[in-house]
């Protein structure tokens, strides 16, 4: 499955209002990413940083939710999800080639 195929299927399950779309999907990304972070925090706190099979499944589900919101944001902004992914890899490869993976700033 490509990102674009995922996007087309995922968007068929949206239930938010069009006028609230951008705010809704932005908050969704932040919320679901927070749920991933919470699960990892609790693994560190409660499980000595050991990721059990069950915890891995739980995190995978949350990552799927993050993916859904990213697909929805691409849809709402008229972005091609495959292109977003491809451009990100190109950016990261360029930074790697130039020794700029570390540091800060969007345009390094």
**pLDDT band at residue 9, thresholds of 50, 70 and 90?**
very high
In degrees rounded to 5, what are phi and psi of residue 100? -115, 25
Residue 96 maps to a domain: no
- What's the number of CA atoms in the CB half-sphere (13 Å) around residue 67? 17
Residue 16 maps to a domain: yes
pLDDT of residue 85 exceeding 90, the answer is yes
The CATH number of whichever domain residue 16 belongs to comes to 1.10.287
Residue 86 maps to a domain: no
Q: Select from 24, 1, 2 the least CA-distant residue to 82.
A: 2
So what's the pLDDT on residue 2? Answer: 97
**pLDDT band at residue 10, thresholds of 50, 70 and 90?**
very high
Residue 98 maps to a domain: no
What's the predicted TM-score (pTM) here? 0.89
**pLDDT band at residue 18, thresholds of 50, 70 and 90?**
confident
| DSSP letters spanning 47-97 | STT---HHHHHHHHHHHHHHHHHHHHHHHHHT--HHHHHHHHHHHHHHHHH
Residue 75 maps to a domain: yes
* Domain total in the chain: 1
Domain interval for residue 68: 3-80
How many angstroms separate the CA atoms of 92 and 108, rounded?
A: 10
Residue 18 maps to a domain: yes
The mean pLDDT of the chain is: 95
Residue 93 maps to a domain: no
Mean pLDDT score, 67-72: 98
Residue 85 maps to a domain: no
């Amino acid at each position: 499955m490509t990102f674009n195929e995922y996007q087309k299927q995922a968007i068929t399950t949206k239930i938010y209002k069009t006028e609230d779309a951008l705010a809704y999907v932005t908050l969704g990304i932040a919320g679901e990413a927070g749920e991933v972070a919470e699960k990892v925090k609790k693994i560190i706190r409660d499980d000595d940083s050991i990721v059990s099979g069950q915890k891995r499944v739980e995190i995978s589900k949350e990552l799927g939710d993050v993916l859904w919101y990213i697909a929805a944001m691409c849809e709402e902004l008229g972005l091609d999800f495959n292109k977003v992914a491809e451009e990100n890899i190109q950016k990261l490869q360029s930074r790697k080639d130039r020794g700029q993976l570390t540091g800060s700033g969007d345009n390094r």
